[in-house]
Chains A and B, each alone.
Chain A
Amino acid sequence: MDTFIQQILNGLVLGSMYALVALGYTMVYGVLNLINFAHGDVLMIGAMIGLSILNLLGVYAPGLPGYVQLGIAIIGAIPACMIVNILIERIAYRRLRNAPRLAPLITAIGVSYLLQTFAMMIWGRNPLPFPQLLPTEPIMVGGAVISVTQVLLLVLAAVSMFGLVMLVERTRMGRAMRAVAENPRVAGLMGVDSNKIIVATFAIGAALAAVAGVMWGANYASIQFAMGFMPGLKAFCAAVLGGIGNIYGAMIGGIVLGIIEALGAGYIGELTGGFLGSHYQDIFAFIVLILVLTVRPSGIMGERVADRA
């Protein structure tokens, strides 16, 4: 039972990060019908920029409390990631809005590659240690342990998602975003500048990814130029699981996928009689994806359908 609670907690932590990144995928898909393949690498950029900021602070202001330093890192990473994502949209995707399906996808893959290469050039190819700024004593929660960093992660994720919901449901821009996602042309007739909305969508998605990136680094204590690929892919699976194009779906899908993965990794040894071990953890996301696309393509929240009859 202890293991179970531990895995649930691990799953929540993992799932929160997936949720943050999944939101970026789902929002962009909602307005452009495009999978921003490079989104996982935006998470990586967030982590890298965050690390650079922390290193600077470590040199010039080592006395600052850990929370503050992390806060500054996040606040610094957000605009950086926004700029990166906005540039990607402007340079790579905008021209291909009406191109056949394959073109933007291939371009997105190329962009992902380029981001990784630039990161490799700037920060090197070796894993970099991420400073542990928060108290490391674990907190006991009913037989399982959770670190302060992980608690902060959960809080930040919750706050960000709440903020996003407020933005989408209560503000003018949020309404405009929903309109463009539904029907760009009619939204245009209502006076909405869909280009501006698309840019805003990319920016918001990037901001969420930045938070996830910095906290990922804080949680795993190590980052590397290729770190964004897997989480990005899994976050996409989460978005599909929840119902691509649906914001609540992305949040739910992220959490659910995180829990599935944690439970799976924890119990797979027993389930397969020792044949498969926890190294196979990464497979779960793909299995979930394939199952969802085969059985219920519209996902948990039943949004856009993934296939065409």
Chain B
Amino acid sequence: MLTFDIQKNPKQAYISMALLLAALIIFPFAAAPFGNSWVRIADLALLYIMLAVGLNIVVGFAGLLDLGYIAFYAVGAYMTGLLASPQFATVLESLINMNPAVGEALAAMLGEDIRTNGIHLSVWVIVPMAAALAGLFGALLGAPTLKLRGDYLAIVTLGFGEIIRIFMNNLNDPVNITNGPQGINLIDPIRVFGVNLAGEQGSRATVFIGSFSMPSVNAYYFLFLVLTIATVFVTTRLQHSRLGRAWVAIREDEIAAKAMGINTRNVKLLAFSMGATFGGVAGAMFASFQGFVSPESFSLTESIAVLAMVVLGGIGHIPGVVLGGALLAALPEILRHVVEPLQMKLFGKVLIESEVLRQLLYGLAMVVIMLTRPAGLWPSPKHEERPDADSDSKGQSTGVMAA
């Protein structure tokens, strides 16, 4: 049986993980005969999984319903857009137009190269910066919500997400920072160890490593796979630590947590921050992968999509969240490839577009799961021995749980 529960059955868990890893590594090569699109779907799914695992820290561990999580994805993506594309040249230009004195001074400081070509930092700088910036935003956006109860926290975080999106959509005048609704183009692809993951010019998106070659989507796949594994690893470690326990304590009973000496304000801020950093890194990857960013990728719909993944998979249980992410990210894409042609064959026309199907899936996922299986498809396995008739005293509680 496939299991990832290290505590209960370590040997089997590690074997399962090894098997899964092998399958994941083989996947792009197995999918090759069917075209690049499947690996591309997997690339995007991996990004979503990173987001879901990051959101799980906030929603799953700490119990804070963040509906504006996509804002951190946007921060990472737009930061990359500004610092790894020609966009900064445009920023300077518009700044010079608005305020020549300041603009020229800044341009002189940064140099002619940046003025014409923009800033192009390497991925090794961009990723930590994206993580740090997103983490900072996480704390900033979380700070006003610390005293709020669940529903209000959700709405306020939603508001923040929307505010970020509105700013991204409109910060193009007078100084053109985000290039408004059109977004930022020509974002540098990722270059590691001299290898351009989008493939060199004229190679038709093929990446050459030594004598080995693979399509660009495969190269990104392995990069994202490594990052996703790292994300899962880090969050798992966080879960089983003093900090992880503090998060769950706050989720279970904040007053008791305080009484036990937990500085709930700081611990909550940490939850927001840490969750946000994963969003930021995923955002940076997204920007480089896609080559452009625009505000429509960061709407409330996306925040809710990531939330749906966490909820569907199993709030708080990392393997469940990964499953939820994989299902909800890949399924609509798979459906798009399958359902529409199928409908054509069966009915002669498309009754339900894949877009509609996607939304239907997300909506149903949330409602049905909450009504029937609120712990999710794959909740944490219970380790304790279930109480049975002979080990528990009679005269059970009079409904004592937390007031």
- The secondary structure that dominates the A interface is helix
Residues of A within 8 A of B129 (CB): none
A301 CB to closest chain B CB (Å) equals: 17
Q: Is B352 in the interface zone, CB < 8 Å from A?
A: yes
Residues A201-245 near B (CB distance < 8 A) = 229, 233, 236-237, 240
Q: Please, which residues of chain A bring their CB within 8 A of the CB of B362? A: 110, 113
Contact residues on A (Cβ < 8 Å of other chain), bracket: 35 or more
Binds B, one of A132-140, A153-161, A182-190, A289-297: A289-297
Decide if A280 is an interface residue (CB 8 Å cutoff). Answer: yes
Residue of B nearest to A283 (CB): B163
Task: Please encode chain B, from 343 to 377, with 1 for each CB lying within 8 Å of some chain A CB and 0 for all others.
Answer: 00000000010011001101111110011001000
Q: Is B17 an interface residue (CB 8 A)?
A: no
In angstroms, Cα B364 to Cα A109, docked, is 10
Selected from B173, B315, B363, B374, the residue in CB contact (under 8 A) with A113 is B363
**B 105-164 contacts with A by CB, 8 A:** 144, 147-152, 154-156, 158-160, 162-163
CA gap between A286 and B365 in the complex, in Å: 28
A275 within 8 A of B: yes
Which of A96, A101, A276 meets B371, CB within 8 Å? A96
Cβ of B358 to closest chain A Cβ, rounded Å: 9
Inter-subunit contact B65/A102 (CB<8 Å): yes
Q: Complex: how many Å from CA A306 to CA B363?
A: 27
Residues on A with C-beta less than 8 A from B371 are 92, 95-96, 107
- Asked if B311 is at the interface of the complex by the 8 Å CB criterion, the answer is yes
In the assembled complex, the CB of B309 is this many whole angstroms from the nearest CB of chain A, namely 12
> Among the listed B159, B160, B307, B352, which residue makes an inter-chain contact with A109, where contact means beta carbons less than 8 Å apart?
B307
What B residues does A106 contact at CB under 8 A? 65, 307, 311, 366, 370
Contact call A117/B360, Cβ cutoff below 8 A: yes
Count how many chain B residues have C-beta atoms less than 8 Å from C-beta atoms of the other chain.
Answer: 45
Q: How far is the CB of A178 from chain B (nearest CB, A)?
A: 22
Q: Please, how many angstroms separate the alpha-carbon atoms of A105 and B152 in the complex?
A: 10
**Which chain B positions have C-beta within 8 A of A35?**
151, 154-155
- Asked if A103 CB lies within 8 Å of chain B CBs, one says yes
Chain B residue contacts of A102, Cβ below 8 A: 59, 63, 65, 150, 315
What residue of chain A has the Cβ atom nearest to residue B357's Cβ?
A117
Residue of B nearest to A88 (CB): B367
**Chain B residues whose C-beta falls within 8 Å of the C-beta of A163 in the assembled complex:** none
A25 vs chain B, min Cβ distance (A): 11
- List of A residues within 8 angstroms of B59 by Cβ: 102
The one of A114, A116, A282 in contact with B162, judged by C-beta atoms closer than 8 angstroms, is A282
What residues on A are CB-neighbors of B151 within 8 Å? Answer: 34-35, 101, 105
Residues of the A chain whose Cβ atoms lie less than 8 Å from the Cβ of B156: 286, 289-290, 293
- A residues less than 8 Å from B207 (CB atoms): none
Q: Is A271 an interface residue (CB 8 A)?
A: no
Selected from A96, A236, A294, the residue in CB contact (under 8 A) with B144 is: A294
A101 touches B149 (CB 8 A): yes
User: A307 contacts which of B148, B159, B365, B374 (Cβ < 8 Å)?
Assistant: B148
Report B-chain residues with C-beta under 8 Å of the C-beta of A282: 162, 166
B170 at the interface (CB under 8 A from A): yes
Assembled-state Cα–Cα distance A183/B192 (Å): 64
Asked if A277 CB lies within 8 Å of chain B CBs, one says yes
Instruction: Provide the bound-state CA to CA distance between A174 and B222, in Å.
Output: 63
Contact of B360 with A306 in the complex, beta carbons under 8 Å:
no
Whole-angstrom distance between the alpha carbons of A279 and B63 in the complex?
Answer: 34
Q: Is the CB of A229 within 8 A of B300?
A: yes
Residue ID in chain B nearest A306 by CB atoms: B152
* A306 lies within 8 A of B174 (CB): no
B144–A103 contact, CB under 8 A?
Answer: no
Residues of A within 8 A of B365 (CB): 110
Q: Is B184 an interface residue when CB atoms closer than 8 A count as contact? A: no
Question: Does B304 lie at the interface of the complex (its beta carbon under 8 Å from any beta carbon of A)?
Answer: yes
Chain B min CB distance to A186 (Å): 19
Q: Does A68 contact B (CB under 8 A)?
A: no
Can you list 9 A-B pairs with a CB-CB distance of less than 8 A? A35-B151, A92-B367, A96-B371, A102-B59, A105-B151, A109-B366, A110-B367, A286-B160, A309-B147
A-B pairs, 6 with minimum CB distance: A110-B366, A286-B159, A113-B363, A114-B363, A110-B367, A101-B150
| A residues at B contact (CB < 8 Å) | 34-35, 92, 95-96, 99, 101-107, 109-114, 116-117, 120-121, 125, 229, 233, 236-237, 240, 274-277, 279-280, 282-283, 285-286, 289-290, 293-294, 306-309
B residues with a Cβ closer than 8 A to A are 59, 63, 65, 67, 144, 147-152, 154-156, 158-160, 162-163, 166-167, 169-170, 173-174, 300, 304, 307-308, 311, 315, 352, 355-356, 359-360, 362-367, 370-371, 374
Other than A106-B311, A283-B162, give 17 A-B pairs with Cβ distance below 8 A. A105-B150, A106-B370, A110-B308, A113-B304, A114-B360, A116-B363, A117-B363, A229-B300, A233-B158, A233-B159, A236-B155, A240-B152, A283-B163, A289-B155, A294-B144, A307-B147, A308-B147
